[in-house]
């Protein structure tokens, strides 16, 4: 099969596209004929190399993909050849204390397809059956491939950990990014009042299209100042900050008393910033 791959970490020139052995699915695994894949910034960080990340080379990147089930291994009962599926990248052991409690994203062996193990940017991908979700007819492959990682991350931040309620207010930083635009849509779906920041009018227009109520161009004004003005100095109930050190102080300033700040990710260029768990919740 043809696959995106690299044999060493580095810039874009390490990426190759060529032959890679197509594997048969093992027990509890499914082989998917990939119809579309999405590029996350995580794929860029993985290609450049991350502290503590020791990959088997050559490595196929890609955490997000969607396609048609090509073959199933022994023990698989949920899927059969011809099913439309998308990949959910988080892999957990199913046995540790967190998995037994139903919180698999806190698994002591939690890892991501495409980051820690072979990914899905290939003609075929073999993944655990547990990591597939059905894709309804009528959903195009590009949408199915692009949604899982960012929407699951944003949902966990806002709903599972942030306990967002209808009528509350939310500030989403970087609303035009992957996690940002997912957070805007989820907050709007919950019934929250949504404040969104971006660096251009075009990006803000898109944020408005997908559910933002108030728009802040952070290139032209301080978002903390704008939040103070719009809320009568009250602040918002929840801040979604997936940017990092550059926005952290103003994010805290934007919170109402008892507000919640949710963040995700850890890896950034230079690796000079504090590493946090993917679902960390900070209370002011």
Tell me, yes or no, if the two domains 2-146 and 151-283 fold the same way. Answer: yes
- β-pair partners for 172: 196, 240
Please state which CATH number belongs to domain 151-283.
3.90.180.10
Within 13 Å, how many C-alpha atoms sit on residue 243's CB side? 21
Q: What is the pLDDT of residue 61?
A: 96
Percent of the chain with pLDDT over 90: 82
Stated pTM of the model: 0.86
Q: What is the pLDDT of residue 246?
A: 86
Confidence of residue 272 (pLDDT cuts 50, 70, 90): very low
What are the domain boundaries of the chain? 2-146, 151-283
How far apart (Å, rounded) are the C-alpha atoms in residues 91 and 23?
Answer: 19
Q: How would you classify residue 112: left for phi > 0, otherwise alpha for psi between -120 and 50, otherwise beta?
A: beta
Domain spanning 2-146: CATH 3.90.180.10: yes
pLDDT digits (tens, 9 = 90+) for 26-45: 999 999 999 999 998 889 98
* Contact criterion met (CB below 8 Å) for 3 and 123: yes
Q: What is the pLDDT of residue 107?
A: 92
């Amino acid at each position: 099969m043809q696959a995106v791959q690299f044999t060493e970490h580095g810039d874009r020139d390490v990426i190759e596209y060529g032959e890679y052995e197509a594997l048969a699915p093992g027990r509890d695994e499914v082989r998917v004929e990939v119809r579309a894949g999405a590029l996350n910034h995580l794929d860029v960080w993985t290609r450049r190399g991350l502290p503590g990340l020791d990959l088997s080379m050559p490595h196929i990147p890609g955490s997000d993909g969607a396609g048609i089930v090509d073959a199933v291994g022994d023990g698989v009962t949920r899927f059969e050849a011809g099913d439309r599926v998308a990949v959910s990248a988080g892999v957990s052991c199913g046995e540790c204390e967190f998995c037994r409690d139903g919180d698999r994203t806190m698994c002591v062996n939690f890892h991501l397809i495409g980051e820690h193990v072979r990914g899905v940017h290939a003609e075929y991908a073999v993944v655990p059956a547990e990591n597939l979700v059905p894709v309804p007819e009528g959903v195009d492959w590009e949408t199915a491939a692009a949604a899982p990682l960012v929407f699951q991350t944003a949902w966990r931040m806002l709903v599972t950990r942030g306990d967002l309620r209808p009528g509350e207010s939310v500030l989403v930083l970087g609303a035009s990014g992957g996690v940002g635009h997912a957070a805007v849509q989820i907050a709007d779906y919950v019934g929250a009042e949504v404040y969104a920041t971006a660096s251009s009018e075009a990006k803000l227009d898109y944020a408005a299209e997908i559910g933002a109520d108030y728009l802040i161009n952070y290139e032209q004004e301080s978002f903390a100042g704008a939040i103070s003005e719009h809320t009568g100095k009250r602040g918002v109930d929840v801040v979604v900050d997936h940017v990092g050190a550059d926005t952290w102080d103003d994010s805290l300033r934007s919170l109402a008393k008892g507000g919640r700040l949710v963040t995700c990710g850890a890896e950034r260029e230079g690796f000079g910033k504090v590493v946090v768990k993917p679902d960390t919740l900070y209370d002011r």
